[in-house]
């Protein structure tokens, strides 16, 4: 079905709004939410570039609105590690069973989220911060992101283990996800894998995209850290299950 077909356009708009809402609320998981719908109505060659472009727009909106809490310097090692992790992921895509990797990572995500939801007292376990740890987590996020389109999953888990507040987590993870998506989009552009129809669909869906992101940010400002953490774990669980299914 064409991206510009009326029924397809309606479904895509709903998916984009839902993904933008969750991304605005938590700072990640646009592709996990929107992809649950888009990948059932569009071929991956259309859905993946569209999700990536839309996610970048939501990240820009969040970065502007939450600019006071963004920690660009603190994210630099995460970003550097992530950039180094993506090229190996592109190589592995051509030489390993990416489907098996996604399933395994999905099981890990779902298991971690379930365990933490059942054992909330473990959320603030003492995990020592460090430059090497940040670089390794960033590398792992880039590697995983290249294979699953979810570069933010590992950094989010890392922040959860360190017991960060919602502002601290968004301030650290948001720039990282933005940088990873821009890097991946640049790689896709060099391969000419984004069609004009995809860009046109993005343009037509900007109102839904901005409205969802704005509503998500408003909700983010009205919830407390405990509820934010439960929502994050619930979305990690959902994302894990989606990768498995």
Mean pLDDT, rounded, for 217-237: 90
209 in a domain, yes or no?
yes
1 in a domain, yes or no?
no
CB-neighbour burial class of residue 211 (10 A; exposed 0-12, middle 13-18, buried 19+): middle
Residue 195: band (very low, low, confident or very high) from pLDDT cuts 50, 70, 90: low
Instruction: Tell me how crowded residue 179 is: count the other CB atoms within 10 A of its CB.
Output: 22
State how many domains the chain has.
Answer: 1
Minimal CA–CA distance to 62: which of 168, 164, 171?
Answer: 171
Measured between alpha carbons, how far is 220 from 211 in angstroms, rounded to an integer?
A: 14
Cβ pair 75, 176 in contact under 8 A: yes
Structural domain of 149: 6-244
206 in a domain, yes or no?
yes
pLDDT in tens, 82-124: 999 988 887 787 777 767 888 888 899 999 999 888 875 554 5
Minimal CA–CA distance to 29: which of 117, 208, 155, 129?
Answer: 155
223 in a domain, yes or no?
yes
Cβ pair 143, 38 in contact under 8 A: no
pLDDT in tens, 9-21: 788 889 999 999 9
Measured between alpha carbons, how far is 133 from 103 in angstroms, rounded to an integer?
A: 25
Residue 7: band (very low, low, confident or very high) from pLDDT cuts 50, 70, 90: confident
Instruction: Tell me how crowded residue 186 is: count the other CB atoms within 10 A of its CB.
Output: 9
172 in a domain, yes or no?
yes
Minimal CA–CA distance to 239: which of 55, 30, 68, 75?
Answer: 30
pLDDT exceeds cutoff 70 at 127: no
pLDDT of residue 136: 92
Cβ pair 3, 50 in contact under 8 A: yes
Cα–Cα distances in angstroms (integers) from residue 2 to residues 13, 107, 178, 228, in the given order: 13, 33, 28, 37
23 in a domain, yes or no?
yes
Measured between alpha carbons, how far is 39 from 198 in angstroms, rounded to an integer?
A: 14
């Amino acid at each position: 079905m064409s991206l510009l077909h009326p029924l397809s356009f309606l479904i895509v708009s709903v998916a984009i709004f839902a993904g933008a809402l969750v991304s605005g609320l938590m700072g990640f998981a646009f592709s996990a939410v929107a992809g649950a719908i888009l990948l059932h109505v569009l071929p991956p060659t259309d859905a993946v570039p569209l999700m990536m472009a839309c996610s970048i727009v939501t990240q820009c909106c969040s970065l502007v609105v939450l600019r006071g809490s963004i920690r660009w310097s603190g994210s630099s090692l995460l970003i550097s590690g992530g950039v180094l992790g993506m090229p190996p992921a592109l190589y592995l895509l051509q030489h390993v069973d990416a489907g098996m990797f996604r399933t395994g990572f999905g099981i890990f995500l779902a298991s971690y989220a379930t365990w933490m939801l059942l054992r909330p007292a473990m959320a603030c376990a003492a995990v020592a911060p460090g430059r090497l740890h940040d670089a390794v987590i960033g590398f792992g996020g880039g590697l995983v992101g290249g294979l699953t389109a979810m570069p933010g999953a590992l950094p989010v888990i890392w922040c959860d283990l360190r017991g960060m507040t919602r502002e601290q987590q968004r301030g650290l993870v948001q720039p990282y996800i933005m940088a990873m998506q821009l890097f991946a989009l640049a790689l896709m552009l060099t391969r000419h894998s984004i069609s004009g129809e995809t860009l046109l669909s993005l343009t037509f869906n900007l109102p839904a995209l901005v409205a969802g992101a704005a509503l998500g940010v408003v909700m983010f400002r009205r919830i407390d850290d405990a509820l934010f953490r439960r929502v994050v774990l619930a979305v990690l669980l959902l994302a894990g299950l989606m990768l498995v299914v």
